[in-house]
Amino acid sequence: MLFWLIKKFFLISQKQSVLVWFYSVKNKHLTSRLVVPEHGDPLVLLAKHPGFTLIELLVVIAIIGVLVGILLPAVQQARESARRMQCGSNLRQLMLAMHSHESALRQFPAGYLSDTLRPDRDGDTLDAAPGTGWGLQLAPYLEEATLADNFASVSDPNQGVLHTGNRSLVAQQFQFFLCPSSAGDQEPFVVKDINGNPLAPGIELGRSHYVANAGHEEPWGIFPASSSWDAIANGPLYRNSATRHRSVTDGMSTTVFLGEHTASLSEKAWAGIVPGGASHPTEKFATRIGTAADYAATLVLVHSGPAAAETALYGYEVIHPPNSPASHVCQMYSDHPGGANVANGDGSVRFVSEFINQDVWRYVSSIADGEVIVAGAW
């Protein structure tokens, strides 16, 4: 027995032909047929009123709206979860390269390289060429040996990142330095001085959404400036650092090496620093109290606090874990909801809540201060 179901009606030609869909319950098969109903046939009455009523249409729209409202947040959450996983994968790749560097050269890469005894060094920070950052030092271990070779072949040791032959190299973008969740400008940026003026002749650097941990203090700036920050820098990476496995006595699994910094907060670079340059906050954060440009080292480095300079400035210890409302250009910050990814010395990656205990964050930011991390606190 055939039960027919009219799915849609079309009045075709002057003969009032109707396209009818028939469904066979027995055969579970749907077929269509063009028929010309006779006078009095129920099809004639149906054909006179094709389509949906307004009420039916509004009900369907309302149902679709409810379904979209239910499903859209779940879809967005799934996408963000995938982006966060990709970000973590990038950090694992960078830490693997870190360990390859340590195996080959018996030390982790320096936060950045600088000949601080050069007579043409920056007067405020004592930064000088070559300025090669930890990211560029990792190039041979990230399957970018050609990049490293080209940089070395055209680089004047007296200029490094500043060398005109390196301009196109240091302006490149690499996916393993970019977090897919990071908002803000994604293009290479022009390096500016502390006052916001472009450094002549307008040097551009490719962006990085990952930064290295210099420890509690700010081993940069003029507090006072030093040719060596070894005395105060207690993190794994800073200017001319030479950290080894055995240097990290607090434990590799409880010491943060790398973390996130979104382009929506400030500029960060993978290639290195330019003496006299600075990292500037974006317009989104520039009006926040305490958020201001910081010296060239913060193009590749951040710190956790407390730092003596900040304590003197604010009158109390300032510790800024990931996504801290302080929003300093020298802290870790991500566009992931609730926190940021960090990479530990053992190569593990974890998502750190923005509500992490501040003392715990201070403990995991140093390499040899002897702090004990309570189980479950990290």
pLDDT at 157: 67
pLDDT value of position 319: 95
Alpha carbons 132 and 152: distance in angstroms, whole number: 11
CA–CA dist 244, 48 (Å, integer): 85
Rg (CA), the chain: 30
Specify the pLDDT at position 377. Answer: 74
3-state DSSP assignment of residue 47: helix
pTM of the model: 0.81
**Domain ranges within the chain, ordered by starting residue:** 2-47, 76-363
pLDDT, position 95: 98
Where does residue 323 rank: exposed (0-12), middle (13-18), buried (19+ CB within 10 A)?
A: buried
CA distance 122 to 120: 7
**3-state SS assignment for residue 27:** coil
**CB distance 336 to 350 below 8 Å:** no
What's the CA dihedral at 306, 311, 313, 315 to 10 degrees? 140
Whole-number pLDDT of residue 363:
96
Q: Which pLDDT score, from 0 to 100, does residue 352 have?
A: 96
Q: What are phi and psi of 188, to 5 degrees?
A: -55, 150
- DSSP letter string, 66-85: HHHHHHHHHHHHHHHHHHHH
Q: Are 266 and 285 in contact (CB under 8 A)?
A: yes
Identify whether the C-beta of residue 240 lies closer than 8 Å to the C-beta of residue 260.
no
Pick from 161, 144, 130: nearest CA to 100: 144
- How many CB atoms lie under 10 A from the CB of residue 92? 15
The two beta strands, 11-12 and 278-279, are: unpaired
- Joined together, the tokens standing for residue 208 give 């990085």
pLDDT tens series, the chain, 378 aa: 333 333 443 433 344 555 555 555 556 565 655 555 555 555 444 444 456 688 888 888 888 888 888 887 777 788 899 999 999 999 999 999 999 999 999 999 999 999 988 888 898 899 999 999 999 999 999 999 899 888 887 777 678 898 888 999 999 999 999 999 999 899 999 999 999 999 877 799 999 999 999 999 999 876 666 777 888 899 999 999 999 999 999 999 999 999 999 999 999 999 999 999 999 999 989 887 678 999 999 999 999 999 988 888 889 999 999 999 988 999 999 999 999 999 999 999 999 999 999 999 999 999 999 988 876 777
**CB-CB contact of 337 with 352 (8 Å):** no
Residue 100 has phi, psi (to 5 degrees) of -65, -40
pLDDT value of residue 76:
75
3-class secondary-structure state, position 219? coil
